[in-house]
Amino acid sequence: MTIKLLLATNNKGKVKEYRSLLEGLPLELVTLAEISIKADIAETGSTYEENARIKAQVLAGQSGLPSLADDSGLEVDALNGEPGVRSARYAGEEATDAERVKYLLNKLSGVPLNGRQARFVCVIAVAAPGGRVEICSGECSGLITFGPTGELGFGYDPVFYFPELDKTMAELTMHEKNRISHRGKAARQVLAALKKLGLL
C-alpha cells in the first residue's frame, strides 16, 4: 500500500532533501504547488515543535492528506542559542540565504573558531487529516566557519563545519548529508510515526 504524503513546505531545497530521505518508503510525496495550496502560515510558535505542529495540522486539514511539516534552525552557543526558531527570519523577513549567512558571520566577528560551536536542530510533525500528530526530531553538531565554503545545500550549510570530516554541510553530497544531518536523523523516524498514526 502506498499513501500520499503532503510535504508542507515551499522551500525547494527541503523538498529535494525529503524526496531523497524518504525514497524507498511506501509514500507518494506531493508538494503544495502540485495540489495548488498556498501555505502562508504564520510561524507563531516559540519552539520548533509548535511551529511544525501548526503547519502540519493546518495543511492536513486543508488538503485532507497526511502532512509532514518541519521547523528547523541553527543554534550558536556564542550567541546564546541564536538564531534558533528565528533562523529563516534572522536577517529580516525578505533576506536571502547569502544575506542571512553574512548577518550571522558579522554577529560572530572576533569570535575564534574554538568558540563557534553550533548545532542544527530539526523537528518534524506528521499530522493525520483528523488532527492527530506524531513528532520526530534530530540534531547535529559542528562549528561556524569564518566564510562560506561549498556550493551544495542551502541556508546556513556553507558555514556549518564538521571538524571530523573537514567539510562544511555545503560540501557534502546529498547521500553524505542525509546520513549525518539533523533532518536526516529526524526523517528516519517518519515511517514509525506514520505507523503510530495508523496511516501505514
Q: What is the pLDDT of residues 96-126, one digit of tens each?
A: 999 999 999 999 999 999 999 999 999 999 9
Is the pTM higher than 0.85? The answer reads: yes
Catalytic (active site) residue 71: yes
Res. 39: pLDDT tops 80:
no
Q: What is the pLDDT of residue 9?
A: 86
Query: Which residue in 40, 70, 71, 77 is the catalytic one?
Result: 71
For residues 61 and 53, is the Cβ–Cβ distance under 8 A?
no
Quote the CA–CA distance of 53 and 45 in Å, as a whole number: 9
Q: What is the pLDDT of residues 75-100, one digit of tens each?
A: 999 999 999 999 989 999 889 999 99
Quote the CA–CA distance of 79 and 196 in Å, as a whole number: 38
Name the residue ranges covered by the structural domains of the chain: 3-196
For residues 135 and 53, is the Cβ–Cβ distance under 8 A?
yes
Q: How many CA atoms lie within 13 A of 145 on its CB side?
A: 19
Work out the pLDDT band at 131, boundaries 50, 70, 90.
confident
Q: What is the pLDDT of residue 44?
A: 79
Lookup: cell for 18: 525529503
| DSSP one-letter string for the chain | --EEEEE----HHHHHHHHHHTTTSSEEEEETGGGT---------SSHHHHHHHHHHHHHHHHSS-EEEEEEEEEEGGGTT-BGGGGGGTT-TT--HHHHHHHHHHHTTT--GGG-EEEEEEEEEEE-TTS-EEEEEEEEEEEE-SS---SSS-TTGGGEEETTTTEEGGGS-HHHHHHHSHHHHHHTTHHHHHHHTT--
Averaged pLDDT, 66-83? 97
pLDDT-above-90 percentage for the chain:
82
Q: What is the pLDDT of residue 72?
A: 94
CA distances to 8, 62, 70 from 36, in Å? 12, 11, 20
Q: What is the pLDDT of residue 200?
A: 85
Options 3.90.950.10, 3.40.50.720, 1.10.540.10, 3.40.47.10; CATH for 3-196 is: 3.90.950.10
Mean pLDDT of the chain: 94
Q: What is the pLDDT of residues 132-156, one digit of tens each?
A: 999 999 999 999 999 999 999 899 9
Residue 49: Cβ-neighbour burial (10 angstroms; 0-12, 13-18, 19+): middle
pLDDT-above-70 percentage for the chain:
100
Q: Which amino acid is at 104?
A: L
